[in-house]
Amino acid sequence: MDRTAAPAGSFVASVAEIIGRIEGEPDRLVDLRLEASRAFTAAGLPTTRQEAWRFTSLRALAETPHRPAAPADAEIADLTIPGSHRLVFVNGRLSPGLSAAEDLPRGLTLRPLAGALAEAAGPAASTIGGAVDLARHPFAALNTAAFADGALIHLEPGAIVEAPIHLLFVTVGDGEPTWSAPRTLVAAGAGSQATVVEHYVGAGGESLTLPVTELRLAAGAILHHVRLQEEPRSARHIALQASRQARDSRLDSVALNIGAGLMRTDIDAVLAEPGAHAALDGLYLVEDEQHTDTHLDVRHAAPHCTSHELYKGILDGRSRAVFNGRIVVDPAAQKTDAIQSNRNLLLSAGALVNSNPQLEIFADDVRCTHGSTVGRLDEEAVFYLRSRGLDRATAESLLTYAFAAEIVGAIPVGAVRERIERHLVARLPQGELAREAF
């Protein structure tokens, strides 16, 4: 089965049906959906014969027919971020009752994509899909062809939004394997600033979530972006985040992967104009049989841009992490400053990491560095702490917590930081003690 594209029959049939039912969308979008549908049908489900999927097998997914998730209700009481503007989607559809997007500050548009896309001249219909490479990302193609709804965040030039914008995507299973494809488009106007939290959770049941997020930053825009994935272990999560930055814009994005049995995150970042800066950080915290795969693809297309990537992983049980960090520096992109680091901490003998930096540099006056480490806790540090009276479990918990703290401490939204801290505490034998240290 791995020799050729796996059958994508159940998805293809669903997509045809979904596209057939769509009404009232502008021609550009209908054409885009058809193109995406063809791209997905041609590609099929990726197999481990393909370089980009070498370490992540979708065999079990390919053998399990999935159907589109039906509308459902959800409970989100303990998931909200105090003081945030919020849109909630359940199985890819807006849940107005759970959302809180009234009284928006001036310059902020926060609304479901479904309505926004009907306006042919609006920002959504004219830009959606522009940052997505359909040929390279079959699941993003599937999303583009079939997404029912999602979030539009539009910031007018100069708009400063203080409160975080919380996009909560809930997957609710119904006993049979289902899939959903939520979509997010963030368009930050010149000189605007906001904080956006994309948050994926689920209520159990075998499911597949295929989110696509486009981040477009105009000149001088500043976007703080958090991607928090804490779906149940019965879920698979395959996501694309595609960003495109204009002159002097700044994207600070952190991807937190905690949940799902299988998670794959592709992050495509284009620094399109001089002076743009992207910080793309991440933390994966996996155990048991969890599998996490991060593919970063950062393209420096203009001079004087900086990209900093710090990905940290903590692996326990028989979990596995794949990290592929590609940086491409175009011939025109002189004075590029690109730093990439992937550091992995193994808490068990059964965990495994494949870390692969990939630099492709076509300019001659640049600074590009990368580093990758996979290791256990430093025994000398453990002994040092024990020799002052801390027991081994506390010493190890403290050091593990400290390893994660560099990422966790920088999360710009307190409520998200606390959620991650709770995950850490739950996974460490003396987590509560360790937490007090920070």
Contact letters (x/-) for another protein, 25-54, by CB under 8 A? ------------------------------
Mark 412-436 as b/e (b = at least 16 C-beta within 10 Å). ebebbbebbbebbbebbebbebbbe
Handedness of CA 55, 60, 64, 69 (dihedral sign): negative
**DSSP state, residue 273:** S
Spatial contact of 334 and 367, defined as CB atoms under 8 Å apart:
no
Q: What is the Cα–Cα distance from 279 to 164, expressed in whole angstroms?
A: 18
Which span sits near another protein by CB under 8 A: 34-42, 112-120, 285-293, 398-406? 398-406
Q: Does 174 bind another protein (CB under 8 A)?
A: no
Q: Does 311 bind another protein (CB under 8 A)?
A: no
Total count of residues recorded for the chain: 438
Nearer to another protein among residue 241 and residue 400 (C-beta): 400
Q: Does 381 bind another protein (CB under 8 A)?
A: yes
Q: Does 436 bind another protein (CB under 8 A)?
A: yes
Among 155, 259, 403, 421, interactor with another protein by CB under 8 A: 403
Q: How far is the CB of 252 from another protein (least distance, A)?
A: 20
Q: How far is the CB of 395 from another protein (least distance, A)?
A: 8
Which span sits near another protein by CB under 8 A: 177-185, 204-212, 336-344, 383-391? 383-391
Indicate the pairing of strand 306-315 with strand 337-346.
parallel
Among 385, 412, 425, 429, interactor with another protein by CB under 8 A: 385
| Cα-to-chain-centroid distance, residue 325 | 15
Spatial contact of 297 and 269, defined as CB atoms under 8 Å apart:
yes
Token duo for residue 30: 């209908």
Nearer to another protein among residue 308 and residue 386 (C-beta): 386
Instruction: Give me the phi and psi of 142, to 5 degrees please.
Output: -60, -45
Q: What is the Cα–Cα distance from 238 to 70, expressed in whole angstroms?
A: 19
Q: How far is the CB of 386 from another protein (least distance, A)?
A: 4
Integer angstrom CA distances of residue 95 from 207, 326, 417: 19, 37, 25
Q: Does 61 bind another protein (CB under 8 A)?
A: no
CA dihedral (83, 157, 191, 266) in degrees, to 10, reads 70
Nearer to another protein among residue 13 and residue 410 (C-beta): 410
Among 59, 367, 392, 422, interactor with another protein by CB under 8 A: 392
Helices and strands in the chain, H and E counts = 10, 22
Amino acid in the structure at residue 18: I
Among 308, 370, 386, 417, interactor with another protein by CB under 8 A: 386
Nearer to another protein among residue 217 and residue 395 (C-beta): 395
Show contacts with another protein in window 249-278 (CB under 8 A). Answer: none
Q: How far is the CB of 282 from another protein (least distance, A)?
A: 17
Q: How far is the CB of 134 from another protein (least distance, A)?
A: 42
Q: What is the Cα–Cα distance from 133 to 140, expressed in whole angstroms?
A: 8
Which span sits near another protein by CB under 8 A: 21-29, 273-281, 287-295, 390-398? 390-398
If you search the block for the tokens 């203080």, which residue do you land on? 162
Q: Does 432 bind another protein (CB under 8 A)?
A: no
Token duo for residue 432: 């509560």
Q: Does 402 bind another protein (CB under 8 A)?
A: yes
Spatial contact of 228 and 257, defined as CB atoms under 8 Å apart:
no
Interface contacts to another protein, rule CB under 8 A: 378, 380-381, 383-392, 394, 398-399, 401-403, 405-406, 433, 436-438
